[in-house]
Chain A
């Protein structure tokens, strides 16, 4: 096995996550993630605005006030919020190179996320049974579109978490392990803060 001898002239020209070798001293990956999240703000902003515009446009008996089950959604919101805690604990464990606890917290985060998505699936089906289809009204279309987009984001997050656990178990996270966990963490927290907004604007503030 060939061993690479570091070049000594100061040009570190192969760099695996060498966060300090960049012009700003910041990691490329992390910067990319933050830029992406900045961009996502405009995506969710557009969906939320569409909802805000249309939330009052529905038949009298099938509006937000009739449909939403605030106690239920509060619980699932709470679960998602707590998954942010477990996520940050995973990041913390990863930064201390504690693989076992990293995996543990990642798994719990994924489970909490899955619970949230499960809750959303339940919510959607019960709304659907009450007669609120995707195309029933402008309110329903924009509601399902907004929360559906969010749900897809959570689901993607769960897949990333599980993939992380799987790859981690085989010791195969390329590059800096802690950073990859942190990146997934940033994404996960973002999905959580978006829900903080949705929960307030969509569920708690009545139309």
Chain B
């Protein structure tokens, strides 16, 4: 239950931070008005609607790239804005995205070695 764990011993003064970080853990984003988040949610809702529309409307060759791009946009929006990565320390972005990019790199390479994704 890491959520309730405390730092046991943060005896250290903040010192010249050697890892780049901008902004503080709390601060700026905390003061974003609720309407800001509602707006983002609206955009997300629209994108989702667009995505789902591919079920009814044929986008032809654009289908796959469009879906993937929309997915990536949604992902990044939630991560940057709702999860505050954009406002928070770069270290967090770096930790999360290194996991994500590693996962993408490794698993895409792995699927590629099968040459086909799903033979039917």
**Real binding pair:** yes
Binding site for B on A (CB under 8 A): 10-13, 15-42, 44-46, 48-49, 52-57, 70-71, 74, 77-78, 81-82, 84-85, 87-89, 92, 95-96, 160, 174-175, 178-180, 182-186, 189-190, 192-193, 196-197, 199-201, 204-205, 207
Please state if A16 and B6 are interface contacts (CB–CB under 8 Å). Answer: yes
Please state if A42 and B103 are interface contacts (CB–CB under 8 Å). Answer: yes
Q: List 30 A-B contacts (CB under 8 A).
A: A10-B13, A15-B9, A15-B10, A21-B7, A21-B12, A22-B7, A22-B14, A23-B12, A24-B91, A25-B24, A26-B92, A28-B5, A31-B95, A34-B92, A34-B95, A38-B99, A42-B103, A42-B106, A53-B118, A70-B52, A78-B45, A81-B44, A82-B45, A84-B44, A85-B40, A89-B34, A180-B4, A183-B3, A196-B71, A200-B70
Please state if B13 and A11 are interface contacts (CB–CB under 8 Å). Answer: yes
Q: Which of A23, A40, A45, A57 contacts B107 (CB 8 A)?
A: A45
Most B CB atoms within 10 A — which of A15, A24, A27, A89? A24
Binding site for A on B (CB under 8 A): 2-7, 9-15, 17-19, 21, 24-26, 30, 32, 34, 37-38, 40-41, 44-45, 48, 51-52, 54-55, 64, 67-68, 70-71, 74-75, 78-79, 82-83, 89, 91-92, 95-100, 102-104, 106-107, 110-111, 114, 117-120
Contacts of B17 in A (CB 8 A): 23-25
Contacts of B11 in A (CB 8 A): 11-13, 15, 21
Closest chain A CB from B4 CB (angstroms): 6
Closest chain A CB from B78 CB (angstroms): 5
Please state if B68 and A200 are interface contacts (CB–CB under 8 Å). Answer: yes
Please state if A19 and B103 are interface contacts (CB–CB under 8 Å). Answer: no
Please state if A25 and B21 are interface contacts (CB–CB under 8 Å). Answer: yes
Please state if B25 and A200 are interface contacts (CB–CB under 8 Å). Answer: no
Contacts of B120 in A (CB 8 A): 56, 207
Closest chain B CB from A106 CB (angstroms): 13
Closest chain B CB from A102 CB (angstroms): 13
Bound-complex Cα distance A199 to B98 (A): 23
Please state if B2 and A39 are interface contacts (CB–CB under 8 Å). Answer: no
Q: Which of B26, B34, B82 contacts A189 (CB 8 A)?
A: B82
